[in-house]
Structure formats: C-alpha cells, structure tokens
Structure 1
Amino acid sequence: MRIRVFALSAVIFLATSAFIINDDKKEIKWLSIEEAYKLNQKEPRKIFIDVYTDWCGWCKKMDRDTFSDPEVAKFVNENFYAVKMDAEDQDKIILAQDTTTQQMLARSMGVSGYPTIVYMKEDFKTIHVVPGYQKADAFLKNLESVLEWE
C-alpha cells in the first residue's frame, strides 16, 4: 500500500512539475525597465521593450496574438529581457541614478506610435525601433536578427 501511495505521489509531483516548467515557457516573463536594468548588471542580455498605451487596440492585439504565441514566449524568455513600458506613465523611475519616467524614456527612444518595439543592446543602447503591429512569425524573425547585432 505504501508503495502505491508513494508511486501515485511521485506521478502527481512529476506531472505538476512538468506543467509548471512548460507553463513558464508559454508566457513571456515581463519585467519593468528597472528590473531589466538590475538583472542586466548580473547577467547581460539584449532587451526588447514593448512600448504601449492602455487605449491602443493594436497593442492589445499584439499581446493576444503575438506575445502569447508559445514559440515567441520560449525564444524571448531564453534570449532577452522583455520589458512592458506604458508610454503615458508619468510615475518616477530610477535607472543608474537618473530619475525619469516611462513617458520620457519612450520619447527619448523616438517612439511616436503604438505599439512600438525597441530593441536594445546589453549596454542599454538602442539597436532598432520597430513601430506597428507584428505577427508572431515576423516578430520571431526580428528577434533572431537582433541577437546577431554586436
């Protein structure tokens, strides 16, 4: 009887562990810009920033169709720090002892429409700014090409 209970417990544990591990790959791990900055100090990676607004319909479509794609999520989580940045947010943030806002950062990156994806190097210098909605396959191609930038 003990062996059956142990075996059943082991099967349940493994099944739930696999679900948790796989679930982690199905969704992008979104960070704030401050979190990405701190993580990047310890483990440098390229960064992509989804610059959006709450009222933007295409931003919501990109969340629903592109960012929820399992292949996109897996690739992003393995290779990038992913940041969500509200282009209208005026709350103060501190990056490398500089005080700014998400709104000011978006403007300084040249963002003028939504959604816009900003790709950045590990040193937080902008690589490329891509305005507009992107389907999952096109977005994946952009992500792959950004990894090749030095």
Structure 2
Amino acid sequence: MNKIFFGVLFFVFIGFKNSVSGQNVKFNKNQEISFAEVLKMAEKENKLVFMDVYTTWCGPCKLMDKTTFADSTVGKVFNEKFINFKVNGEDAEGVNIVKKYRINAYPTFIFLDSKGELVNRLEGVFPSKLLIEESEYTMKLWKESK
C-alpha cells in the first residue's frame, strides 16, 4: 500500500514540477487565428510553423498534450523557434488543412515554411527528447533549403 501511495505521490510531484518550472508549448489555435495569419507571423518572425493536427476523440493527441507539450524543455524550444499552431482536423479550416496536407492519422505534426510548404512531417506520439531532436533536424533541413 505504501508503495502505491509513494508511486502516486511521485507522479503528482513530477507533474507539479513540470507545471511550475517552466512554460509548456504555447499554441495558437485555429478557433482563435486563421492559418493565413499564422503563415504571416512565420514570415514576419522568420520562423517555421509547427502544426499539431488533432481531433477531440484522439487518445494519443490528449497524451501529447498532457506529457510532451506540457514539458518545460519542449516548451522552451518550441516557443522560441516556431510559430505553434494547433488545428482540429474536423472543424471547417481543419478539414481543408487535412485535405491539403493529406493527413490520415492523428496526431500529425507538420513543419511548414512561411509559404505553407512542407518541410517535415511526423505522425504519432513522441517523447520530449525525440520531438526536440526531430525539430532540430527539421530546422537543419529548412536552413539547407534556403
């Protein structure tokens, strides 16, 4: 019984530590800002767009929100280097994005330049370290393509 209590207490502490020690990934949401506006922001700030395409019923999408995107290390990297955009793949603008980028799995993560051109694409659940590594690889691809 004590092992269970301390195990639960440990995970509560880790969750609390992540929530107070830094920022999570801050997303612009397609219900609040248009895709065109996000691309303009990317052009103005000379950044790539990191797009999280999700659905409300997607378990792995919710897991990413609670774990990887809540990690302060991921938040620091993504908030500094990308314009982050969260898109519900089943609402009006989301359906168009799903068609345009041929998304057929959730979650799908897309890295775009300011013209909306695909730089890299990922699908599924990613732990923090791997997502950061993929973002660094994507930045390298983007810089080499300029």
| TM-score over 0.5 (shorter chain) | yes
Post-superposition offset of 1:44: 2.0
Tell me which of 127, 130, 139 is aligned to 1:147. 139
Tell me which of 78, 103, 114 is aligned to 2:80. 78
The one-letter code sitting in structure 1 at the alignment partner of 2:28 is L
1:1-150 equivalences in 2 (<5 Å): 26-32=23-29, 33-90=35-92, 101-149=93-141, 150=145
* Aligned residues: CA RMSD: 1.8
Post-superposition offset of 1:38: 2.9
Runs of 4+ in 1 over 4 A off after TM superposition: none
**Unmatched tracts of structure 1, length 5 or more:** 1-22, 91-100
Q: What number of residue pairs does the alignment pair up? A: 118
Determine helix, strand or coil for the equivalent of 1:104: helix
User: Is the 8 Å Cα contact of residues 25 and 77 (structure 1) preserved in structure 2?
Assistant: no
- The two structures have a TM-score, normalised by structure 1, of 0.72
Flag the structure with larger Rg. Answer: 1
Identical-residue share of aligned pairs (%): 28
Post-superposition offset of 1:41: 3.5
**Unmatched tracts of structure 2, length 5 or more:** 1-19, 30-34
Q: Kindly indicate which of the two structures has a greater share of residues assigned to strand.
A: 1
Q: Kindly indicate which of the two structures has a greater share of residues assigned to helix.
A: 2
- The two structures have a TM-score, normalised by structure 2, of 0.74
